[in-house]
């Protein structure tokens, strides 16, 4: 990689504004990456995604490995060309989906044996193969293979997974040949501060271009997650980007940035959109509620998205009730634009040193109800993120 | 309506080029109208539809009457504003869907009693109500309520339905109050030339601004349909547009224009798109076939649509196999652009007097296989058109 992968430009308390330099352009941080599991952000064209203000997204190696296959994408010129996306892409290692989607999942030091959730065929993933596949796909940022723990696992089990994650990180680093892909490590250690510290220090010593905080958003209460994030980022090198995987609820983005996170991805904004849950600065609204059937204004008159500029809540509500496919796209557009606007506001607040005030105001206005929290959190551990 | 509703500009044999003048702009004929049953052309925004070259579409009164309700749409400023479409709209009377979708359908001279296919609620539609609903929706062209016959009905039954259709047309004309909506009558008479003649002459005498050829595409073989169309258009006033309802396969559009038709609507191009059947000048191709999985070119390298300009057949094939929603939109874009380009070519050929040569060439190159014909034709009478 020519030049610095990440520049830290400004801090406001623990919150950071910076920029990622990738072969597919500059990405301003903090950044939220929409999820395009199967080489498409569900319902949207690449032009739609760009038009919403995003220039980096995440694709899932597991999904693409199984279908259409890494070799096919490589022969067709790589993932960017395949999906006609000229912005930056981050691919994960495939490990997370193996642990969450495969009906079989047998882990040894060598790697992980799993079955396709599509046709039941058996596969074997190793750190070296995870790198090979991601190099073939050609993403701008790639991830090490890690062993994911579940919330509730005992400390011994979590330490064992963490140690294996460290060994796998070293094997990934050794296997990694391409110069223009930034390889990130993943800090594990569950909810145990001493393990998190050990993991952060171990991986920091490898001097990789970026670090993810893994093993969160797996069913644990938020009051446990946030201190762990805060503690972990404090131990990571300040000149490297920190990526919180699988987090994307508006309140969690603000809370994550407040704790030193630079990058996020999550299927939540697009998934809840397809269920009719739309973000506003006051919290989520459910467009399926009867009250919207006659509302002549847009869902959020302050929103600048195509959906809100063009259609009434009554029309959107009609599309959802009539089960029209356009509903899913219009709601996706709204939620992603909301997230992009939020990240822009967050960054501006950091740059002018007022992030703390911004975060307090946002979090006091943005209501999460029990129902919203239930939808936001994952029903079962790891199930939520895998389905985009 | 100020000015002439239709201007016939040029004929090439029996084929006609003209223009419709509507309160929402001029529409060049021959025209194909995409179907937006529930106030949306499935998967597309109004901008998408405009961008494909269309400026007139069809919406179904039956669907909109049941959901969200005609009153709601009227209160929200009418159908154009509700769906944010500033082009022309044609609404049907609702009769066709009543006959095809309702689990109950009891016809008397007064009107037709039916049940909602959504919630089973009972409703009564009369010629007067069909006009009232369409006036409330505010389409540019509205249709009389007619009684649809089935292919295979005996002559006596078809004559009875035709006579009722004539009486209902007169009641619709009497009930019709708005000046800026063009009311079209519908010629019935089944496959009986003498009845078709009687119907065409009866309705022509009413001097309405347009005439539809109804009761076709209901399961009868095409070698019966085409002579009936030819005979019927020959009996209709040449200065009025002729609308062939529910026809939209490429070969049928060419054949229809050749027999004097000016307007078409059909859900077929969008419906088969969502099944992965894509139009090319050589016939339909099925993108789900294994052969496309590695094809680095677009489905049709001669096509100027967004899908073909942007994505390989391999990518589109991947989206279909991965059951990604974007697949449905990309395929819809392709098929509708194909139809729009076809109608443009047809019109240009008429204007330069070479339509006959164009039609022969097109029909000799465009292959329809048995399977394609099976998909193109409606499995059960009337079932095909109602689902967009």
Please check whether residues B314 and B335 belong to one and the same domain. Answer: yes
Q: Which residues pair with A15 in a beta bridge?
A: A12
Q: Give A226-276 pLDDT, tens digit per residue.
A: 999 999 999 999 999 999 999 999 999 999 999 999 999 999 999 999 999
Q: Give B158-214 pLDDT, tens digit per residue.
A: 999 999 999 999 999 999 999 999 999 999 999 999 999 999 999 999 999 999 999
Q: Give B333-356 pLDDT, tens digit per residue.
A: 999 999 999 999 999 999 999 999
Of A245, A267, A289, the residue that ends a domain is A267
Judged by DSSP in three states, B373 sits in: helix
Question: Alpha-carbon distance A281 to A284, whole Å?
Answer: 8
What pLDDT does residue A378 have?
40
Q: Taking Cα atoms as reference points, which of A26, A21, A30, A7 lies closest to residue A248?
A: A30
Please check whether residues A23 and A115 belong to one and the same domain. Answer: yes
List A residues 173-232 in contact with B (Cβ-Cβ < 8 A).
Answer: none
Mutate to test the interface with B, among A77, A290, A324 (most CBs of B within 10 A): A324
Greater confidence (B300 vs B101) lies with B300
What pLDDT does residue B99 have?
86
* Chain B touched by A328 (CB under 8 Å): yes
Instruction: Kindly report the average pLDDT of chain B as a whole number.
Output: 93
> Mind telling me how many Å the CA of A218 is from chain B's nearest CA?
26
For residue A370, name the pLDDT band (cuts at 50, 70, 90): low
A383 is a domain residue? no
Please check whether residues B133 and B206 belong to one and the same domain. Answer: yes
A386 is a domain residue? no
Contact assessment for residue A304 and residue A287, using Cβ atoms and an 8 Å cutoff: no
Beta strands in chain A (DSSP E): 6-12, 15-22, 25-29, 31-33, 56-59, 88-91, 105-107, 112-115, 122-125, 141-143, 182-187, 210-213, 242-244, 263-265, 277-280, 283-286
> Mind telling me how many Å the CA of A39 is from chain B's nearest CA?
8
Question: Alpha-carbon distance B251 to A226, whole Å?
Answer: 63
Domain of residue B319 covers 273-373
A385 is a domain residue? no
Q: Taking Cα atoms as reference points, which of B4, B31, B7 lies closest to residue B339?
A: B31
Of A227, A249, A267, the residue that ends a domain is A267
A1 is a domain residue? no
Q: Which residues contact B338 (CB under 8 A, 6 or more apart)?
A: B250, B269, B278, B279, B280, B300, B303, B305
> Mind telling me how many Å the CA of B67 is from chain A's nearest CA?
7
Query: Does the beta-carbon distance from A38 to B318 stay under 8 Å?
Result: yes
Q: Which residues contact B301 (CB under 8 A, 6 or more apart)?
A: B308
What pLDDT does residue B148 have?
87
Question: Alpha-carbon distance A250 to A229, whole Å?
Answer: 16
**Residue in B with minimal Cα distance to A77:** B296
Please check whether residues B330 and B195 belong to one and the same domain. Answer: no
A382 is a domain residue? no
Query: Does the beta-carbon distance from A329 to B72 stay under 8 Å?
Result: no
Please check whether residues A261 and A305 belong to one and the same domain. Answer: no
Contact assessment for residue B335 and residue B370, using Cβ atoms and an 8 Å cutoff: no
Please check whether residues B78 and B105 belong to one and the same domain. Answer: yes
For residue A388, name the pLDDT band (cuts at 50, 70, 90): very low
Question: Where residue B153 sits, what CATH number does that domain have?
Answer: 3.20.20.105
Q: Taking Cα atoms as reference points, which of B207, B174, B200 lies closest to residue B186?
A: B200
Please check whether residues A204 and A312 belong to one and the same domain. Answer: no
Q: Give B12-66 pLDDT, tens digit per residue.
A: 999 999 999 999 999 999 999 999 999 999 999 999 999 999 999 999 999 999 9
For residue A134, name the pLDDT band (cuts at 50, 70, 90): very high
Q: Shortest CB distance from A40 goes to which of B67, B306, B326?
A: B326
Which token pair is A4? 């610095």
Number of cross-chain residue pairs from A and B with Cβ atoms under 8 Å apart: 107
Please check whether residues B315 and B356 belong to one and the same domain. Answer: yes
ipTM of predicted complex: 0.94
Q: Shortest CB distance from A318 goes to which of B67, B317, B328?
A: B67
Half-sphere exposure of B55 (CA within 13 A, CB side): 15
Please check whether residues A111 and A254 belong to one and the same domain. Answer: yes
Please check whether residues B312 and B336 belong to one and the same domain. Answer: yes
Please check whether residues B281 and B265 belong to one and the same domain. Answer: no
DSSP state of B35: B
Query: Does the beta-carbon distance from A43 to B325 stay under 8 Å?
Result: yes
Q: Give B219-266 pLDDT, tens digit per residue.
A: 788 888 999 999 999 999 999 999 999 999 999 999 999 999 999 999
* Chain B touched by A75 (CB under 8 Å): yes
Question: Alpha-carbon distance A90 to B363, whole Å?
Answer: 48
Backbone dihedral angles phi then psi of residue B210, each to the nearest 5 degrees: -165, 160
pLDDT at A364 over 60: yes
Q: Which pTM does this prediction carry?
A: 0.94
User: Residues B65, B66, B72, B76: is their CA dihedral positive or negative?
Assistant: negative
For residue B315, name the pLDDT band (cuts at 50, 70, 90): very high
Catalytic positions of A: 92, 265
Instruction: Kindly report the average pLDDT of chain A as a whole number.
Output: 93
Torsion on CA atoms A186, A192, A196, A202, rounded to nearest 10 = -100
For chain B, the domain total comes to: 2
What pLDDT does residue A6 have?
98
Q: Which residues contact B318 (CB under 8 A, 6 or more apart)?
A: A38, A39, A67, A68, A82, B293, B324
Q: Give A135-164 pLDDT, tens digit per residue.
A: 999 999 999 999 988 888 899 999 999 999
Judged by DSSP in three states, B253 sits in: helix
Please check whether residues B135 and B79 belong to one and the same domain. Answer: yes
Query: Does the beta-carbon distance from B45 to A324 stay under 8 Å?
Result: no
Half-sphere exposure of B283 (CA within 13 A, CB side): 14
* Chain B touched by A39 (CB under 8 Å): yes
B1 is a domain residue? no
């Amino acid at each position: 990689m020519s030049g610095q992968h990440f520049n830290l430009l400004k801090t406001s308390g623990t919150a950071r504004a910076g920029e990622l330099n990738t072969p597919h352009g500059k990405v301003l941080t903090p950044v939220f990456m929409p999820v395009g599991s199967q080489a498409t952000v569900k319902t949207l064209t690449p032009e739609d995604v760009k038009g919403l203000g995003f220039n980096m997204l995440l694709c899932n190696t597991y999904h693409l490995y199984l279908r259409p296959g890494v070799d096919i994408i490589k022969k067709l010129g790589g993932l960017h060309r395949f999906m006609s996306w000229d912005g930056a892409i981050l691919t994960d290692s495939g490990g997370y989906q193996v642990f969450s989607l495969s009906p079989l999942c047998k882990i040894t030091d060598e790697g992980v044996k799993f079955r396709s959730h599509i046709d039941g065929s058996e596969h074997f993933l190793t750190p070296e193969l995870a790198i090979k596949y991601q190099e073939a796909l050609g993403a701008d940022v790639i991830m090490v293979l890690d062993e994911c723990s579940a919330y509730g696992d005992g400390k011994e089990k979590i330490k064992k997974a963490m140690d294996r994650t460290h060994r796998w990180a070293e094997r990934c680093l050794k296997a990694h040949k391409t110069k223009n892909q930034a390889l990130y490590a993943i800090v594990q250690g569950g909810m145990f501060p001493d393990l998190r510290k050990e993991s952060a220090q171990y991986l920091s010593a490898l001097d990789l271009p970026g670090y993810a905080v893994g093993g969160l958003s797996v069913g644990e209460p938020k009051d446990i997650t946030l201190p762990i994030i805060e503690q972990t980022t404090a131990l990571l090198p300040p000149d490297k980007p920190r990526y919180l995987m699988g987090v994307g609820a508006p309140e969690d983005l603000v809370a994550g940035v407040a704790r030193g996170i630079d990058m996020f991805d999550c299927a939540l904004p697009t998934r809840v959109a397809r269920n009719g849950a739309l973000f506003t600065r006051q919290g989520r609204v459910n467009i399926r509620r009867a009250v919207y059937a006659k509302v002549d204004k847009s869902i959020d008159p302050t929103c600048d998205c195509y959906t809100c500029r063009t259609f009434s809540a009554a029309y959107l509500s009609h599309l959802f009730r009539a089960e029209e496919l356009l509903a899913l796209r219009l709601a996706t557009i709204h939620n992603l634009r909301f997230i992009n606007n939020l990240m822009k506001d967050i960054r501006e607040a950091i740059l002018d040193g007022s992030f703390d005030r911004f975060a307090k105001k946002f979090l006091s206005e943005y209501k999460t109800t029990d129902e919203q929290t239930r939808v936001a959190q994952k029903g079962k551990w790891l199930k939520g993120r895998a389905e985009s």
